Structures are given as structure tokens and as C-alpha cells.
Chain A
């Protein structure tokens, strides 16, 4: 396992269709994050999981968006009834939080995947 992987790398869909992206984190990492990056902007936080529990969701995550991490390993991000404004790069990151509740290193490093680029026509 050399890093975080994301599939597909590119997705083109028509407005109104549903899409699902997958993220496979680094195997021992218990935290998993989703970010969205639009053109000319930095990544924006969407949501994160600790093991299988979804602990926080951004206001950016509308009701059309849902994320799961059923077994605490891989995660999926689904967008229902896609809109043109959903076109963006969707980034996944993972990190390891120590069992005491503290990060194993201060400033918990997140390792990013290559992203899934979504284009909604």
C-alpha cells in the first residue's frame, strides 16, 4: 500500500445523474477526509470520518451529498441529482490518530489522494 487511492480519476456526467466516488486510504489510517477543490481555489473541507463514524459535515455538503465509510476502511462519496456547480476535483485524505486521542505527531499529517475530477454537463 503506497498511498491513498481514488477511483475513478475522471467522471463526466449529465446534469441530474447520480455519481459515486471511492477512496481507499492508507491501510492503518483511522481518519478519512473529503475535500472539494474548484478551479482557482484551495481545497475546501467537506466531511471526515474517524473509523466508521462521520464526525463532522461542512455546510458545503448539501442534502444531495452523502458519504459513508461502512467498515472503517474505504469510503464512498455520492452526489445525487448532480448540478453543473458540482463540477470540481474531489480530494480524499487520510491520517492516523493515536489511540490516546492525540495525533501520533502534532499537526496530524493528512496524506492526499490524486483526486476525482467531476465534470457535470
Chain B
């Protein structure tokens, strides 16, 4: 069975500082990995995804994530935090798109940006 573990339910960084949100996954098949962001009272928005190929994936709003198979990790980073980045972030995994595409989400990490 697939699963995702996000380390830290809350992360605080200063504006302009590096953002690092940690995610580790478990999957018996080559995974597809995602990061979603959820702003208050809004639905989930896809930030970026890893399917195949290049292990460093760039997404929207300056975020990127690196797939490390040996570490079963897919950490999300952004070089310089902005106040508008304050939101909840979900790491997620699914298996081959041929099948049910069911997405398994982590519990989320709430990112706080300090002025």
C-alpha cells in the first residue's frame, strides 16, 4: 500500500528565507508524486508533480522538489519565502496513471511566514 509522511504539521520561516517542507513516501511500484497547496477556503491547487524523467521538478510560484529514490523522499523547497506562500501544503502519491489514479495524501504541513 502507498503512503506519505510529512514531517512537521507546522513550519515557520521568515520572509525571504529558504522554505523546506519534507515528504517521504512508501510505494511498491514506481510512484507518481505531487505537491498540492491549499489556501484558506479554497480547493487544492497542484504546485508540481514528478512522473518520470528529470528528478528535479519545477513548479509554480518558484517552488521545486527533488525526487530521491534512494531516500524515498520528495521534499519541497523555495529559495525565498513570500508572505503569500502562507498556506497548507500536501504531499501526495499515486501509482501508474493506467489504473485508478487514486491519490494518497499526507496530513499536510501548514507554512507560516514571519515578517
Determine if A109 is an interface residue (Cβ-Cβ < 8 Å).
yes
Q: A43-B90, A102-B98 are in contact. Are A110 and B43 (CB under 8 A)?
A: no
Determine if B61 is an interface residue (Cβ-Cβ < 8 Å).
no
Q: Are A109 and B46 in contact (CB under 8 A)?
A: yes
Total A residues in contact with B, Cβ cutoff 8 Å: 30
A83–B71 Cα distance when bound, in Å, is 42
Q: Are A103 and B101 in contact (CB under 8 A)?
A: yes
Determine if B11 is an interface residue (Cβ-Cβ < 8 Å).
no
Contacts of B107 in A (CB 8 A): 40-42
A107–B101 Cα distance when bound, in Å, is 8
Q: Are A55 and B100 in contact (CB under 8 A)?
A: yes
| Chain A nearest Cβ from B66, distance in angstroms | 16
Chain B, residues 32-44, CB within 8 Å of chain A (1/0): the string is: 1010100001111
Name B's A-contacting residues (CB within 8 A). Answer: 4, 9, 32, 34, 36, 41-46, 49-52, 90, 92, 94, 97-98, 100-108
Residue pairs across A and B with Cβ atoms less than 8 A apart, 25 shown, are: A4-B43, A33-B101, A33-B102, A33-B103, A40-B107, A40-B108, A42-B4, A42-B90, A42-B106, A42-B108, A43-B44, A43-B105, A48-B100, A48-B102, A91-B43, A103-B97, A103-B98, A103-B101, A107-B50, A107-B51, A107-B97, A109-B49, A112-B36, A112-B45, A114-B42
